[in-house]
Amino acid sequence: MADDESRTILLEKNEDCPGCIIDRTKQDQRGVPYFHLSFIWLVSLCTALPISSLFPYLYFMIRDFHIAKQEEDIGFYAGFVASSFMIGRALTSIFWGKLADRYGRKPIILIGTFSVIIFNTLFGLSTSFWLAISVRFFLGCFNCLLGVIRAYASEVVSEEYNALSLSVVRLLSTFYFIPSLLLMFTSSRGEIVPLQFFQVSTSRGIGLILGPAIGGYLAQPAEKYPSIFSQSSVFGRFPYFLPSFVISVYATGVLIACWWLPETLHTRCRIAQGRLNPTELNDDESRGGGLDDQKIISKPSLLRNRQLMAIIIVYCVFSLQEIAYSEIFSLWAVSDRSYGGLSFSSQDVGEVLAISGLGLLVFQLLVYPPLEKTLGLLVIIRLSAVLLIPLLSCYPYIALLTGATLHLVINCASILKNALSISLVTGLFIMLNKAVPQNQRGAANGISMTAMSVFKSFGPAGGGVLFSWAQKRQDATFLPGDEMVFLVLNLVQLVGLILTFIPYIS
């Protein structure tokens, strides 16, 4: 077959080619590339903050739009606002990736960063539900940073530090930070697993701390800090503008810094016609292939890799459950006790999410590596899925607690929930990357991210609709109110658990 044939691709070196300049820099590189890693850190955090900062105050924002005819309907509308971002990202991620392959990484990164400044600011100034949902949708459409910065991270540093650069992306795209000394850890089979695989979960650390803290503490500032912000000020008239404004100011600084961002794409080299594109060539060079003529073997179709497809399916199911939980938890925590909620403020929700993020960071640093070495990836995935079911079943009864006991229990439950969820995602991410050769990991992660974005676009909307419906059946005989909500979350969890027994996944 044609796909099995090998072919020779010639690359002619060009002194003015940005990719060639980067290659020479990598060859001369000594020590940890802090300069390049700083750009990756800044951009990755920029794309993550607008996502996680929303949940603590979304319920109150929808309430103030007065679109919900009754309080039970707030969750319904909140779900669509949260989903609109993921829908936009799912529709345009492939488009931006192709543009990045053709015109370079830097211009696409600049466009994505600029879009955060514009659309995130407009979201904070939104005065209606339809304006908010439209702005979030366009923010998702133009938020092309995550996929592009992953490609950039693999190209801008030498092979020795690829794991570290990609770990920074993983770590911050979901908001996590981990010291560079944990560059790799040993798997249960005695193999060295790059931190980039480990970081699928660690990405949640700093984002789960910074994002909810910004949203929880800075939303409605005129009510929380009347001595600083008056009701007549712009932050009093637009109570959800301050967290968006702070993130936009950060994005402005990132945009300015990115003017010095070095391009990595080979744009001025002669490449022979064939099915190999410049991105694939860059990938080979970043692994040490250099600029010499090479014989490159066609890559097998990833869609025919049964193990990869099985892992992606399981990955998507657990991702759907996870983002639906994130949406439901914030709505449930701030809803009134008469509806089975906790009557928390946005600040209370931000505190719980930030504390759980800090606990997750500790778990990823100290607990997960030895646990993985002892039990193995698949056992951890299945065990975490099993333990999450009774944990989520306890949530409706946590609402019966009050005072310090309530805060202690909900923080402990949230930490445990995030630790178990991250164990799932980390294990699946490692297995996903092990299911393909190194030169196909970029494409494999691209497929998984697109599929996951599609599933995540349904999660918040579905969770909001489910939550709104459940609040209207507080007096039902069978599973009243929030008991039904957490039962449905458990059913999705159970489906994911069953799918881990697909023969191909192991």
Interval 75-103: pLDDT, tens: 889 989 988 988 888 888 778 877 877 78
Residue 2, domain member (yes or no): no
Backbone angle region of 126, left / alpha / beta, with phi > 0 → left and psi within -120 to 50 → alpha: beta
* Three-class SS state of 70: coil
More confident residue, 148 or 393: 393
Q: 429 or 337: whose pLDDT is higher?
A: 337
**117 falls in which pLDDT band (50, 70, 90)?**
very high
Is the predicted pLDDT of residue 204 greater than 50, yes or no? no
- With respect to residue 24, please indicate whether it lies within any of the assigned structural domains: yes
Query: Would 166 be classed as within a structural domain?
Result: yes
- Per the model's pLDDT, the better-predicted residue between 460 and 243 turns out to be 243
pLDDT reading at 234 higher than 90: yes
Note the pTM of the prediction, 2 decimals: 0.73
Who has greater pLDDT, 181 or 313? 313
152, part of any domain: yes
SS3 185: strand
Angle, CA 229 vertex, CA 240 and CA 255 arms, to 5° = 55
pLDDT-derived band at 138 (thresholds 50, 70, 90) equals: very high
Q: Among the listed ranges 116-120, 163-167, 284-288, which one has the minimum average pLDDT value?
A: 284-288
β-partners of residue 192 are 186
Whether 388 has a pLDDT exceeding 90, the answer reads yes
Q: Of 35-49, 186-200, 399-413, where does the model show the most confidence?
A: 399-413
Is residue 91 in some structural domain? yes
Residue 274 vs residue 499, higher pLDDT: 499
Domains in the chain, number: 1
How far is residue 436 CA from its own chain's centroid? 22
- Above 70 in pLDDT, residue 107? yes
What is the extent of the structural domain holding 361?
8-505
pLDDT at site 175: 41
pLDDT tens per residue, range 256-295? 998 888 776 666 554 443 333 444 444 444 344 444 444 4
Domain for residue 1, yes or no? no
Give the rounded distance of the alpha carbon of 496 from its chain centre. 19
Which of 177-191, 346-360, 463-477 comes out lowest in average pLDDT? 177-191
Determine the pLDDT at residue 14: 59
Quote the percentage of the chain above a pLDDT of 70: 71
The answer to whether 74 touches 455, Cβ cutoff 8 Å, is no
For residue 486, being part of any structural domain is answered with yes
Burial of 412 (0-12, 13-18, 19+ CB in 10 A): middle
User: In the numeric block, which tokens belong to residue 236?
Assistant: 């009093």
Tokens 């996903």 belong to 432
pLDDT at position 280: 44
**What confidence tier does 420 reach under pLDDT thresholds 50, 70, 90?**
very high
Euclidean distance between CA atoms 281 and 287, whole angstroms: 10
**CATH number of domain containing 50:** 1.20.1250.20
Give kind and range of the element (H or E) at residue 7.
Answer: strand 6-9
- Contact between 427 and 371 under an 8 Å Cβ cutoff? The reply is no
Q: What is the per-residue pLDDT for 323?
A: 86
Decide if 191 is inside a domain. yes
